Structure 1
Amino acid sequence: MNPSKRYLWIVSFITSFAAILTPLDSTIVSVSLPVISKSLNMSYVETIWVPLGYLLALTALLLPLGKLSDIKGRKTLFTNGYLIFTIGTIMSGLSLNGIELDFWRVIQGIGASFILAVGGAIITETYPANMRGRAFGIWSFAVYLGTTIGPVIGGLIVSVTTWRYIFFVTVPLSLIGYILSIIYLKEPKIRSNIKMDYVGSILLISGLLSIIYGITFGSFIGWNSFSIFISLVGLIIFGLFILYENYYKELSILDVSLLKNNIMFTAGNLAALLNYTGYFYLSFFISFYMQRILNFSPLLTSLALISLSISMVIISPISGWLSDIIGSRILATLGMILIMIGLLLFIPLGTKASIIDISLRMILIGIGMGLFSSPNTSAVMGSVSRDKLGVASGTLNMMRFLGQSLSLAVASLIVSSFVPHNILSSIFTGLQISSFEISSELFLLGLRRLYLISSIIIGIGAILSALRNKK
């Protein structure tokens, strides 16, 4: 029995709340972090973990929850996700120190992973094939909307009132989503014969957590035996996860055979991983650069950050249309080259840069992202059979969030390798610095090394993208 048009619109409306909330609560924080870290007197590591804890929860739980929704049902996980997200959001706004905020951001990320992992599956299951593209078009627009408006809302809030409202402002949206999903969503038939991959899920979660924890704490505290041990253990566990998934194919949450036997699928996922690893840190460090070194207001900072999102939103549908005509390889590769050039152009900026200087570079990177994202996604999804679309989507999403998590972790490692810890602490906590000129130059040295190394990572991704076939 086909669902009514009214129910289809209800599903799109409810899932759109999820699509807006997950990127919104990531981007709204980026511009506000300098204010938050100063208010709570947060350390460098505590500050990094505000966005990182949220992203790490998304990365680690996306695949396990997608599989769990096949077994336990979509509606239960989706509504619980809204509830967890709401609790995490409220408590983040009430946090009294950095550790509390980091903890509640992880809880918020867990809730976001529930609604994001299941939202796409609900759309796929509800909409007939000939209307699914339209439904995902609405979903994609909601994602871009959340990404775009986040910095501006964050900048406005911290300019006129306390930073705590950057969290409270999203509570009504998540509560509306929760109530509507309970009232209107229908539970489709549950495939009870499927078994959950508990071992693979535990290996994935513990492996990623150990790697990211080891890198971030080792980068600031110092590479002592504990930090090195935790990082190595994480790598070993993640390797065991890949081996386990390859051996127990009938239970797996990750289809390793696709990565082994499908060059287009593997190249597209690796390109996405390297691309997000190479550029995603930018909004975090640019916020501190603009507000601490250039002394710009949060609102002006948000205008620079939003220029990246707007250019990406404009270019993405055009590049998606072009990829249907000329293929994805040229567009995706060109996009990564533009991102690499944009990062290299940040290197000359010093203590006298204007908002125009920064915005033009962000626009170039946004154009590059717009050229890369849609064609690369189309190439990855088009490289698998219809019965593998869900697995392909989940894998690509995991690569995206893994890249974003690694971006912040690796960037923190690079910057802390060139900037003395006492200067990093003073910049991130907003304390007075005895010699502002010297501290600024040392911080800029760290940023310049970061831009150079990350542009090399993007360049490797561009080579990978260029080597795949024309489709």
Structure 2
Amino acid sequence: MHKREHKFTIVILANFFFFLNFSQLVLLPKFIIHLGYSTMDVGIVMGIFNIAVICTLPLVGLISSRVNRRALFFLGSLVMAIGTYLFVRVDRVGLEMYMLRTLQGIGFAFAFGISGAMVFDTVLGGARRRYLGLLTASNMVTHAIGPSIGEFMIASYGFMQYFMSASLFGLIAAAFALGLPGIRDRRYIIRGLNLKAAAPFVAGSVLLGMIFGSTVVFLPPYLMRVGIENSSLFFITFVSGGFILWVFLYRFFKNRDRLIIYAFAVIMIMMLPLMVYFIRGNTSLVCLALLFGVGYSYLYPTLNGLTMSSLPRTKGLANALFVWAFNLGMAIALFAFGIMSSLYGYRKSFFAVGLTGL
């Protein structure tokens, strides 16, 4: 195996197990509802994670020029695993849960905040966008596997074993992190940095985070209300959409006008929140989740790659900026959706989220 391919494989594996930890926590709203709390509490608890990410990512961007990325990813994976395991001690929504979500957010910022930069470090220019797509597809796979494992653990053994299994994947990610390339940006240039060049892509990331966060976090409890107890079908189909894009559609898309493909992807990701009212069973859920997966799988790596290309001298900062913007969108949406769903219900709230894509 070529040296660069070997390095990219390690990046993929480390991210894969890290996201198995992260993706299982998508089911955390079920735990909160199980404890007897409302969707507003779900929004607060889930949103605290994103607030922690938002506050930590500027630090990650700053120190990525001084500390090698291997150390940052290792620290983030370890902190995420610890923050997940300690949930076995929690039996109410309160300060302890808020602190653990903050800890998880800090871990996420340190690990994922430099993942895209590691791809740029290990892959040569022309192939970077495709390899970012492969990283996104790999991470998306965990959104099928992680929640499916989580659903099984909850149904078979309970929530405590669910948290333990999630934390184990974080520890495996930390082990793989020891084999990551120890690269850092040669210098950090803040004066004269052209952030205006990245502004359109950062704004797009905020909106994408709003749509993605609201849908992925609040769809599982909504499905429970319409009689679909197990949400793993949504996550599996969502991931399948990513595979369809990068295995079958990528060659067709790459030779077409990027703006047109971008517009189609936006329409596809909007369809699920706009049409959530029509989800009556597995067939409608699968169709909408598939479109959601294809749209997201194109938009996320495209915006990520464009952000880093707009700030080529500081890839660590650029990737941190992109992830920061995405999580800002998620935080806004989670807090707003929690309040709106309590006042107006799930369907009107999802419809409002879908309209943000316009």
TM-score (norm 2): 0.84
| Equivalent residue, structure 1, for 2:357 | 458
Shift, 1:68, TM fit: 0.9
| Equivalent residue, structure 2, for 1:245 | none
Give the Cα–Cα distance (whole angstroms) in 1 for the partners of residues 294 and 124 of structure 2.
31
Q: 1:50 to 1:13 in 2, by over 3 A?
A: farther
**Aligned pairs for 1:1-150 within 5 A:** 9=6, 11-12=7-8, 14-31=10-27, 33-34=29-30, 36-99=31-94, 100-125=96-121, 127=122, 129=124, 133=128, 136=132, 139-150=135-146
Residue identity opposite 2:258 in structure 1? S
Shift, 1:303, TM fit: 1.0
| Equivalent residue, structure 1, for 2:337 | 411
Give the match's secondary structure for 1:41. coil
1:324 and 2:257 aligned:
no
Q: 1:294 aligns with which of 226, 230, 235?
A: 226
| Equivalent residue, structure 1, for 2:148 | 152
Residue identity opposite 1:296 in structure 2? I
Shift, 1:179, TM fit: 3.8
8 Å Cα contact 1:12/1:138 also seen in 2: no
Q: Deviations over 1:410-459 (max 9, x none)?
A: 211322332xxxxxxxxxxxxxxxxxxxxxxxxxxx22221332222111
8 Å Cα contact 1:20/1:147 also seen in 2: no
Q: Superposition RMSD on alpha carbons, in Å? A: 3.3
| Equivalent residue, structure 2, for 1:399 | 325
8 Å Cα contact 1:319/1:371 also seen in 2: no
8 Å Cα contact 1:273/1:400 also seen in 2: yes
| Equivalent residue, structure 2, for 1:240 | none
| Equivalent residue, structure 2, for 1:306 | 236
Give the Cα–Cα distance (whole angstroms) in 2 for the partners of residues 355 and 146 of structure 1.
21
| Equivalent residue, structure 2, for 1:315 | 245
Give the Cα–Cα distance (whole angstroms) in 1 for the partners of residues 61 and 244 of structure 2.
30
8 Å Cα contact 1:319/1:370 also seen in 2: no
TM-score (norm 1): 0.66
Residue identity opposite 2:355 in structure 1? I
Residue identity opposite 2:29 in structure 1? L
Shift, 1:93, TM fit: 3.1
Give the Cα–Cα distance (whole angstroms) in 1 for the partners of residues 176 and 353 of structure 2.
43
Q: 1:131 to 1:170 in 2, by over 3 A?
A: farther
Residue identity opposite 1:386 in structure 2? P
Higher Rg of the two aligned structures: 1
Give structure 2 stretches of 5+ with no counterpart: none
Q: 1:376 to 1:118 in 2, by over 3 A?
A: closer
Residue identity opposite 1:149 in structure 2? I
Give the Cα–Cα distance (whole angstroms) in 1 for the partners of residues 227 and 150 of structure 2.
17
1:362 and 2:289 aligned:
yes
Give the Cα–Cα distance (whole angstroms) in 2 for the partners of residues 322 and 377 of structure 1.
20
Residue identity opposite 2:238 in structure 1? L
Shift, 1:348, TM fit: 4.6
Q: 1:165 to 1:48 in 2, by over 3 A?
A: farther
| Equivalent residue, structure 2, for 1:275 | 208
Give the Cα–Cα distance (whole angstroms) in 1 for the partners of residues 217 and 285 of structure 2.
14
Q: 1:360 to 1:283 in 2, by over 3 A?
A: same
Shift, 1:294, TM fit: 2.7
Give the Cα–Cα distance (whole angstroms) in 2 for the partners of residues 151 and 59 of structure 1.
24
Q: 1:339 to 1:80 in 2, by over 3 A?
A: closer
Give the Cα–Cα distance (whole angstroms) in 1 for the partners of residues 267 and 181 of structure 2.
45
Q: 1:22 to 1:46 in 2, by over 3 A?
A: farther
8 Å Cα contact 1:328/1:375 also seen in 2: no
Q: Deviations over 1:105-133 (max 9, x none)?
A: 221221121122234444544x3637974
Give the Cα–Cα distance (whole angstroms) in 1 for the partners of residues 215 and 55 of structure 2.
22
Q: Which has the higher contact order (CA 8 A, sep 6+)?
A: 2
Q: 1:5 to 1:450 in 2, by over 3 A?
A: same
Name the stretch that deviates more: 86-95 or 316-325. Answer: 316-325
